[in-house]
Homo-oligomer: A and B are copies of this chain.
């Protein structure tokens, strides 16, 4: 492995992918298999390949696919983190992405990475992550909480059809506090983003209405405050 010395800063992409499992918010991490931070858990990311990636979003998607086998349901730019000290190899610039997905177990037999794993967010402080990835995750989490208050983003943590109860649980998990079911239904109604389907049962209760995203709806354009 050749040690590279940059006169130009190194530009990389990192992904903070969230999913909800077992009523907990999880982040997808990969164990590094190279120096620096060999064997440390880190965010899945990498370097842009100008022959493969039509833009940085495509790069982020490709890296996620390649390193974790998963494809996010939602992806957006979070923020650029930069400086001379965040990578021991020298000045580096990283564009962090923020991604959501319905929880999917990961198989860790992906090439080039020894391990892939979902980690509950509330256990991350026990780990020492590579680079400033702990810091990046913290920012991503804050963004997720912000957006959960005033947008419908959390639906990307659910399958394509879902019930109000499921969405309520997801939002509560993200926010770490309870919300009013009534308020959520009003939001769903007012957003005009969803259609109904048949029915579906749940653990010992009345059957819940299934909702579904209307095709071609831009979910990021709904503004309403909740529990602020």
Q: Does chain B have a CB within 8 A of A217?
A: no
- Given A1-B112, A225-B223, A228-B223, A84:B6 Cβ within 8 A: no
Please state the number of chain copies in the assembly: 2
Nearest chain-B residue to A84 (Cβ)? B50
Q: Does chain B have a CB within 8 A of A179?
A: no
Instruction: Give the dominant DSSP class at A's interface.
Output: loop
Q: Are the CB atoms of A80 and B83 closer together than 8 Å?
A: no
Q: Does chain B have a CB within 8 A of A47?
A: yes
Interface residues on A, range: 20 to 34
- Chain B nearest CB, measured from A152 CB (Å): 16
Q: Does chain B have a CB within 8 A of A73?
A: no
Nearest chain-B residue to A86 (Cβ)? B55
Binding-face segment, A7-15, A22-30, A120-128, A164-172: A7-15
Q: Are the CB atoms of A95 and B80 closer together than 8 Å?
A: yes
Q: Does chain B have a CB within 8 A of A75?
A: no
Q: Are the CB atoms of B6 and A50 closer together than 8 Å?
A: yes
Q: Are the CB atoms of B79 and A11 closer together than 8 Å?
A: no
Q: Does chain B have a CB within 8 A of A49?
A: yes
Per the bound structure, the CA–CA distance linking A173 and B77 in Å amounts to 29
Contact of A54 among B11, B56, B84, B112 (CB under 8 A): B84
Q: Does chain B have a CB within 8 A of A70?
A: no
- Chain B nearest CB, measured from A136 CB (Å): 14
Interface string of A108-122 (1 = CB under 8 A from B): 000010000000000
Q: Are the CB atoms of B112 and A83 closer together than 8 Å?
A: no
- Chain B nearest CB, measured from A20 CB (Å): 25
- Given A1-B112, A3-B1, A8-B8, A55:B77 Cβ within 8 A: no
Interface string of A55-89 (1 = CB under 8 A from B): 11000000000000000000001011011100000
Known pairs A7-B50, A48-B93. 11 more at Cβ < 8 A?
A: A1-B1, A1-B112, A2-B3, A8-B8, A11-B93, A48-B91, A50-B90, A77-B79, A77-B80, A80-B80, A80-B95
Residues of A within 8 A of B (CB): 1-3, 6-9, 11, 33-34, 47-51, 54-56, 77, 79-80, 82-84, 90-91, 93, 95, 112, 150, 223, 225, 228
The 3 closest A-B pairs by CB, nearest first: A50-B91, A56-B82, A55-B82
